[in-house]
Structure 1
């Protein structure tokens, strides 16, 4: 159109109406195009002229979508398919989808999107098409889309006839299991099968994933989805844990993170806890370590509020402080409050041993020496028979933690001594080597003193010889040592030998009967009372029963009574 300028003109429509308008005139077009505002009849006539042209080209949204679904341009078809998802009514949307033949398109992307849309808008009568495509379509992305579509349909039709829905559901689960168990199938298709199974029946999905994880050379995608699916099950088993645990050392950080998150589903399993501890303390990835720490915290809180039965009545476990309060205090900087909270935990025997261990063990590295030392003592008392949840796993974990502190020369001597004392309270034979090493090598006499006492608490006959050797090294067989530290060491060794009942120590112990220290003579009397009877021991005890010190005489008399 060639524009020649604006002009003002009047159009006479009838004798009564004359309308004025400013228009743009074209030489090639006889009709007048309105440029600005028009009024009255002229506007009406112009609109009628234009609308007549529009009406010839206009079509309903349904017809427009139908045309676009048949377009050769891929993007036009895909956009039309997306619009079908929100097209109402759904019956007409389905009709358009089927008539357009996009489900049979030669274009993979179109076919892929079409099956996705079928799942979104389809009804249960369409599910057979999805079943067929999920197994027989030549392209793996289309098969995966069909698998996803199966779950979409059930999500949309949950309120449908329950009986019919169950029949279709069983068939869908069976079909998806076949796909998942096909090791030759593409990983994307198997992944989609897991997701759809999980949506339909999560217990069946977990069962299938247990089998899946037993396959060799699985992709990272399948491992992650299988581990997650197992963790979502309400009925986790030892078998499922056995297939998940090996992946805790998988090279992929994301897989290890998934495992760390999943293991909280086995809160009472020692292997699961041990694996979480390793992931928390040893994994090179901070993300994995943080996830393991979070899982352990979840287990911890769950166990803290565990229910026990007393006289067949459920009684919730409680302490004077709420779990969250204790956590906040123990993670804080107030030394006094920390120590009070620790004492409360040690006293409350209804708090499970594992919970106590998890709450206290981090404090072995606390900034305050007093807090560290008290933490060692509390861990030692974790093995009390009255403590609920006491088991070999928790005791071993506590022993390992305390042995690590005892062997760390950078720790304060008071903390090392407390760690040695805690090991004695635990009375676990696995601590003997660490105690024997510290007894021989530690520079602090207080640490060596604690080691000697704790070795006696272990009551291992094999430790008698190492105690006697240590006594020799410490100068404990001197007639009257002036050094008060040696007096303390003498008491520790004699008490330890008495706890064990070392008959081989009879002569060395009796040699100290003439000590000027009443405390030493008292320990000798008590020690001899735990040894096998002999004439020499009998005479020594009679001698001590006449001692001028009342405590010594009483100890000897008690030992003699054991012989009667």
Structure 2
């Protein structure tokens, strides 16, 4: 049965239930509502005392689009939760949602949050969001993240640099070709392929000889399309 705007009052009532399952069910139903009705529901849900409900609501805000919903109007909500929510997974969801919205003006919020955050999951989500955002002003921060000792953060930064499409990233990505972590090498290979310039050819040529076939095959395909 399709959920419509007419179901909104009942779903809002569910959000007032003392039962956590009821409230989570209401938030999940927001996916089936028209955008404006979903926004009304989610704006109520993000104030819930339970972090699971807030997380579910915040995560959906990033994918909310359609007639009557201005993505820029969602920024103040997400900025506040990225900055203030006491639960790190909710802050991580806010960072991811900011990336999903692809509003360039969210850049400063993400960069400031990366500098103050100590929680790994939030930092990881921020780095990934910087790539999704596509704002070229994130370049310097992402290059700095490449120097992190955490290989998962480095991998996320390599992916984000590929998404930005700035060929200056090539010289920063090439040293990672020697990493022992094949998944990092694979992500570097994808990023170099995305950058797609002649300057990426030497790195891709090296990766075409990678012992991990998945890496080598992607590099060969990228070379063939240069």
TM-score normalised by the chain length of structure 2: 0.90
Q: Distance in 1 between matches of 2:58 and 2:220?
A: 36
1:54-65 superposed matches below 5 A: none
State how far apart, in whole Å, the 1-side matches of 2:178 and 2:99 are.
Answer: 29
Partner residue, 1:333: 18
- Say which of 141, 146, 149 aligns to 1:471: 146
User: Match for residue 557 of structure 1?
Assistant: 220
Give yes or no for the alignment of 1:504 onto 2:188.
no
Corresponding residue for residue 345 of structure 1: 30
Q: Secondary structure at the match of 1:529?
A: helix
Distance apart, 1:338 and its partner CA: 2.4
In 1, the alpha carbon distance for the partners of 2:224 and 2:30 equals: 40
Aligned positions of 1:112-511 closer than 5 A: 318-319=2-3, 322-346=7-31, 348=32, 351-383=33-65, 388-392=66-70, 395-408=71-84, 410-472=85-147, 475-476=148-149, 486-511=150-175
Task: Tell me by how many angstroms 1:518 deviates.
Answer: 1.3
Max radius of gyration: which structure? 1
Query: Is the CA contact 2:12–2:26 (under 8 Å) kept in the aligned structure 1?
Result: no
- Between structures 1 and 2, the one with greater helix share: 2
Equivalent position SS for 1:512: helix
Shift of 1:558: 3.7
Instruction: Find the aligned partners of 1:329 and 1:560 in 2 and give their Cα distance.
Output: 55
Q: Would you say the 8 A contact 1:382–1:390 is kept in 2? A: no
| 1:134 match | none
Mapped contact 1:541–1:559 kept (Cα < 8 A): yes
Relative to 1, partners in 2 of residues 1:510 and 1:339: Cα closer, same or farther, differing over 3 Å? same
1:5-41 superposed Cα distances (whole Å, 9 cap, x missing partner): xxxxxxxxxxxxxxxxxxxxxxxxxxxxxxxxxxxxx
CA distance in 1: counterparts of 2:113 and 2:151, whole angstroms: 19
Q: What does the per-residue CA deviation read over 1:231-254, in whole Å, with 9 as the maximum and x for residues that have no partner? A: xxxxxxxxxxxxxxxxxxxxxxxx
Aligned equivalents of 2:14 and 2:45: distance in 1?
A: 12
Q: Separation in 1 of the partners of 2:17 and 2:216?
A: 51
Aligned 8 A contact 2:54 2:90 in 1? yes
Report the TM-score when normalising by structure 1: 0.38
Counterpart of 2:210 in 1: which secondary structure?
coil
Count of residues in Structure 1 that have an aligned counterpart in Structure 2 = 225
Distance change >3 Å, CA 558–CA 423, structure 1 → 2:
farther
Summarize the Cα distance change of 1:404–1:521 in structure 2 as closer, same or farther, 3 Å threshold.
same
Post-superposition offset of 1:357: 1.6
Larger relative strand fraction: 1
Backbone CA RMSD of aligned residues: 2.1
* Alpha-carbon offset, residue 530 of structure 1: 1.6
Q: Does 2:207 correspond to 1:544?
A: yes
Q: CA deviation at 1:353?
A: 2.1
* CA shift for structure 1 position 327: 1.2
Residues 132, 160 of structure 2: 8 Å contact kept? yes
Does the CA contact (< 8 Å) of 1:357 and 1:398 recur in 2? no
Distance 2:68 2:141 in 1: 31
CA contact (8 A) 2:30 2:41 kept: no
Q: For residue 331 of structure 1, report the CA deviation from its aligned partner.
A: 2.3
Cα deviations across residues 328-369 of structure 1 (Å, max 9, x unaligned)?
1122232223223322322x2xx3322212210222232221
Between 1 and 2, higher relative CO (CA 8 Å, sep ≥ 6) is seen in 2
State the alpha-carbon separation in 2 of the partners of residues 420 and 379 from structure 1.
11
Task: Give the ranges of 4+ consecutive aligned residues of structure 1 lying more than 3 Å apart after TM superposition.
Answer: none
Q: Distance in 1 between matches of 2:220 and 2:128?
A: 24
Q: CA deviation at 1:421?
A: 0.8
How many angstroms does 1:391 deviate by?
4.1
Unaligned runs of 5+ in 1: 1-317, 477-485
Question: Deviation per CA, 1:244-279, whole angstroms, max 9, x where unpaired?
Answer: xxxxxxxxxxxxxxxxxxxxxxxxxxxxxxxxxxxx
What residue in structure 2 maps to residue 273 of structure 1? none
